[in-house]
Chain A
Amino acid sequence: MDHSPAAMPRPHTPAGEVSAQAVPLVDIAASLEPDPSDLAAAEAVKPSGPVARPTEGAWLGGVCQALDDRLGWPTVVTRLIFLVLSLWLFAGVAIYGVLWLVWPQAKAEPAIGLAAASRAGYRPVQRAKGPPSLAVGASLTVYGLGAAFLMRWYGERWAGWEALGWIPRHSFALLGICLGGALIWRRWDQRGRQPRAAAGWVTLGRAGLGALLAVGPMVGTIWLDDGWTTASKVLGVGAATLVLALLLAGPWLLHPDVWGAEREERAIGQTRADMAAHLHDSVLQTLAMIQRQAADPKAVAALARHQERELRQWLYGDVADEASLTAQLKATAAEIEDAYGVPIDIVTVGDAALTPPLDALVRAAREAILNAAKHSGAPRIDVYAEVGDETTEVFVRDRGRGFDAAAVGEDRMGIRGSILDRMHRHGGVVGLRSSLGEGTEVRLEMAR
């Protein structure tokens, strides 16, 4: 991972000669007969966990995309279904709204290091995409249910399509309330995502507009239904309520940040303390160790490498499933890297839950890495794991001294017992290629 593939140290042999010596990557055993019980247990890691609404590529709340992710239906289909459902008593709208509320938004919580880099403007600005607001979802629900109710109500009073001509007035009031509510409450969802300076007049304007949207159609409808006297009374009561609410909420309105700011400060203080403790436990200790072992470059390099890996995981790491193949493989590589001081670069594609055969694969890979670290003398070991649809492969490669693959005796227990037998027991295949002075590559393949 830490190098360009373009320039590898190529000791001793000029490019032309090598291929002649190289033993082809022979399959030492070709029994790819998977144990059916193992196969059943092997499942992809991906579609587990709770449903989440993605933000990327969402039209509204990402509900259709979440359905797509889970059921595998194309979004075109799910969107159409919701549209058609909406024609019947707004059911689509209501269901969409409820799902919006119930399913959490896919939280792309960035790693600490990335979040910090983003805040400091070290990364391209990630715009908060779409309206991920819960308020909009809630409004949709209210509107969907309300409109359906209105429709049924009028449907009983005026049968059939006649009702449709009547609906607008009341449903406009409903729509106004929903829109106004969403406009005001969205602000709350988006707090912290916008710079503070943007608050103030914009917020006030939004609130005013929202209130107007909600109150206007409501009062208008009452006016049209029951005459101005009733409407003015409603307005009066509303105004009195508002004054009372303002009186009660006055202190918080004047100092809106008192509580929030205090809590925020405390949280920041705690985070800072945690950070300091972490740095003390890790980086500071390592730096002290490095100074003490300054005379031993290999030890220094190993220490630095270990610290780098740990810090990288802390800052940028993704929280991988402990029981997944790649997590195990990475842990194994880290352990050997620390023990032998040889950098191990590991690249993985895909992932799968750890099953007995995959566990055997990891153990075999461990042995292969261990062999390379102990015997090859290579400055670095490359490990590549790929979880495919049918098989999982792991390659362990070093550019060390290599050995004569044909002459692997029964005495080489490492290869025989730990790699070959282990893989064979689970129906796996081992490929081995090595040539003197050229290095070794072990290929492990297991049906999943």
Chain B
Amino acid sequence: MTQVGPSQSVNRPRVVIVDDHEMFRAGVRHEIGPAVEIVAEAGDVDSAVAAIKQTRPDLVLLDVHLPGGGGTEVIKRVQARQPDTKFLALSVSDVAEDVIGVIRAGARGYVTKSISGPELVEAIDRVATGDAVFSPRLAGFVLDAFSGAIDLASVDEELDRLSAREREVLRLIARGYSYREIARELFISVKTVETHVSSVLRKLQLSNRHQLAQWANARKLV
């Protein structure tokens, strides 16, 4: 992964920040401003969709909770017309149902709002170049969701299973390892780690095992 610092001005990803809290937007702007090019900001679903349509950014930093139907709604509306737009979801709630929901809608990554500036910049960079970003929390959710017996009625069996390697990578992410540390631990390249995470993301988005929805619901009952 290339190091993105303030010095690098060529090929800065063009970013739209979507969040209904002005104060939070200002904070993010301040933190990631030098490393990315912020082309627009929006505070609700409608204005976000309009801004994305107009500015055609590389990446949208998207709040999960948003007036007008939430981040999921933005993704749904934008992806119909601009399937290339990449979304990195950001949330303060950290609730499994919402996190899995926004990822299944099409976001390529999820981080919590208390993420530090440099970490956010690297996450943006990763997602902008087509990779996936999982927070430890999200990795935990995914491991949880994909654990247990496979539904007999499921059609895409392959999609309902994580490979041993994918599971290993997710476990390391959940343990707080960075991609680079994971690569070193498993004697593979960072690129391979990214491939595994992207593959997990794809399964998460495409798998139609009903447990996924059920699991997110049932979690709250335990």
Contact = CB atoms under 8 A, between A and B. Distances in A.
A312 B94 contact: yes
Nearest to B88: A4
A418 interface: no
A305 B97 CA distance: 23
B36 interface: no
A349 B140 contact: yes
Interface in B140-170: 140, 143-144, 147, 152-153
Interface string B113-139: 111101111110010000001111101
Given A19-B184, A76-B152, 8 more contacts: A1-B135, A2-B137, A3-B111, A5-B135, A9-B118, A109-B220, A111-B95, A384-B171
Nearest to A108: B217
Given A123-B70, A347-B136, A6 B101 contact: no
Given A2-B115, A4-B111, A108-B217, A395 B175 contact: yes
B69 to A, nearest CB: 6
The 4 lowest CB-CB distance pairs between A and B, nearest first, are A382-B176, A7-B122, A1-B137, A347-B140
A45 B222 contact: yes
Give the residue among A123, A318, A351 with the most B Cβ atoms within 10 A. Answer: A123
Interface stretch (A112-120, A199-207, A211-219): A112-120
B85 interface: no
Interface string A294-315: 0000000000000010001001
A365 B213 CA distance: 32
Interface in A1-39: 1-10, 15, 18-19
A316 B217 contact: no
A124 B221 contact: no
B184 to A, nearest CB: 6
Interface residues of A, number: 57
A32 to B, nearest CB: 19
Contacts of B220: 108-111, 318
A421 interface: no
Interface residues of B, number: 65
Interface of A: 1-10, 15, 18-19, 45-46, 52, 54-57, 74-76, 106-111, 113-114, 117, 120-125, 308, 312, 315-316, 318, 320-321, 345, 347-351, 382, 384, 386, 395, 397, 441
Give the residue among B152, B153, B182, B218 with the most A Cβ atoms within 10 A. Answer: B218
A431 to B, nearest CB: 12
B98 interface: yes
Interface of B: 1, 20, 64-70, 72-73, 92-95, 97-98, 101, 109, 111-116, 118-123, 126, 133-137, 139-140, 143-144, 147, 152-153, 171, 173-182, 184, 210, 213-214, 217-222
Give the residue among A10, A18, A75, A395 with the most B Cβ atoms within 10 A. Answer: A395
B114 A2 contact: yes
Contact of A318 (B65, B70, B113, B219): B219
A348 B171 CA distance: 10
Nearest to A315: B93
Given A6-B123, A351-B222, A54 B217 contact: yes
A6 B179 contact: yes
B213 to A, nearest CB: 5
B66 A4 contact: no
A110 to B, nearest CB: 7
A395 B152 CA distance: 33
Nearest to B142: A349
B147 A350 contact: yes
A114 B217 CA distance: 13
A6 B178 contact: yes
Contacts of A111: 95, 220
A7 B136 contact: no
Contacts of A395: 175
Give the residue among A57, A124, A125, A395 with the most B Cβ atoms within 10 A. Answer: A124
B222 A5 contact: no
A19 B111 CA distance: 28
